[in-house]
Amino acid sequence: MNVQKEQVIIIGSGAAGLTAAIYAARANLNPLVIEGIQPGGQLTITTDVENYPGYADVVQGPWMMEQMRLQAIKVGARIISDIVTKVNFKKDIKKITLDSKKVFESKTIIITTGAQAKWLGLESENQFNGKGVSACATCDGFFYRNKQVAVIGGGNTAVEEALYLSNICSKVTLVHRRDELRSEKILQERLFARDNIEVIWNSVVSEIKGDENGVNALELNSTNSTAQKLIKLDGVFIAIGHVPSTKPFKNAIDMDDEGYIIAKKPGTCFTNIEGVFAAGDCVDKIYRQAVTAAGMGCMAALDAEKWLQH
């Protein structure tokens, strides 16, 4: 079998992967990026980006990722479209198998496979994605200044997003499927203290309504009666959790219960496997921003470079 030998393989091509590629290429490490199932990562499914430093004007997520990709290629990274299906990290030289059945060996691997927001699975949610439906308040909240929005979920993310949005929006409705929040008590206290946040308990979204201008209402079904409710609003933030895209690495590397890869030394991108580094949303469940992912991608490339030197 023809096995291609590499020095640095980067798995994933979101902000973390492409930044790692830029740094590794500029360190003369000739990195190979395996682009994965969603080239460009989560930013390719957002529209306006206003919080990535360096752009005074709003830029489009897909455009920004295309620029990052071109930048990585310009400085010498190679990018292939394929998906990792199997890894073997047991020996010094790491082995990965792709969907195309190609096999690669590499001294170092940088995992930047990201995470996916969980969605409710409604057709109307898909229809209005980017037109009133979002999974990131920090990214999109600003577009709802002085408007009415809802946040769906009852965990830390939902409560933090509701708090964040209540500073921007005129009213925030938190919709939760049970009668008790899962989030930390301190966050709950802050939530209940806000005048412009209302919590609707025991309810699930049955439909997101809107027109050519985007979302304009939310239809809710009670979970303990047949009652239905319609609330008028301008935007809906789905905050029912994220899933890290780390399936191929299960049993090969240390992960937490939710599948997030664990940094061996906090503040670095080292994992429990020598020569394997991880960065971005597949590690980070707290910040989940393009700029933090890019920062971690840079750290992973620098860690890999140093590790290769020693």
Among 16, 240, 273, 279, binds ligand NDP (CB under 6 A): 240
Q: Is 69 helix (H, G, I), strand (E, B) or coil?
A: helix
CA atoms within 13 A on the CB side of 32: 18
Q: Smallest distance from the beta carbon of 286 to ligand NDP, in angstroms?
A: 5
Q: Minimum distance between the CB of residue 13 and ligand NDP, rounded to whole angstroms?
A: 24
Minimum CB distance to ligand NDP, residue 121 (Å)? 7
Buried b (16+ CB within 10 A) or exposed e, 187-210: bbebbeeeeebebbbbbebebbbb
Work out whether 193 is an interface residue with ligand NDP (CB under 6 A): no
User: Looking only at residues 56 through 85 of this chain, which bind ligand NDP when binding is defined by CB under 6 A?
Assistant: none
Q: Give the residue from 166, 169, 11, 42 showing the smallest Cα distance to 116.
A: 42
98 part of the interface to ligand NDP, by CB under 6 A: no
From 37, 120, 168, 308, residue interacting with ligand NDP (rule: CB under 6 A): 120
Residue 244 makes contact with ligand NDP by CB under 6 A: no
Does 224 sit near ligand NDP (CB under 6 A)?
A: no
Name which of residues 131 to 160 contact ligand NDP (CB under 6 A). Answer: 152-158, 160
- Give the bridge partners for 205, in sequence order: 220
Q: Is 27 or 152 the residue whose CB approaches ligand NDP more closely?
A: 152
| Binding track, positions 265-304, relative to ligand NDP; x by CB under 6 A | --------------------xx------------------
Q: Kindly give, in sequence order, each residue whose CB lies less than 8 Å from that of residue 296, ignoring residues fewer than 6 positions away.
A: 16, 269, 279, 280, 283, 284
The yes or no reply on residue 241 touching ligand NDP (CB under 6 A) is yes
Q: Among residues 171 and 242, whose Cβ is nearest to ligand NDP?
A: 242
Q: Minimum distance from CB of 287 to ligand NDP (Å)?
A: 9
| Calpha distance 277→262 (Å, rounded) | 10
| Dist. CA 235–CA 219, nearest whole Å | 13
Backbone angles phi, psi at 193, to 5 degrees: -80, -10
CA 81/CA 79 separation, integer angstroms? 7
Q: What are 49's strand-pairing partners?
A: 59
Q: Which residues bind ligand NDP (CB under 6 A)?
A: 120, 152-158, 160, 177-178, 182, 204, 240-242, 285-286
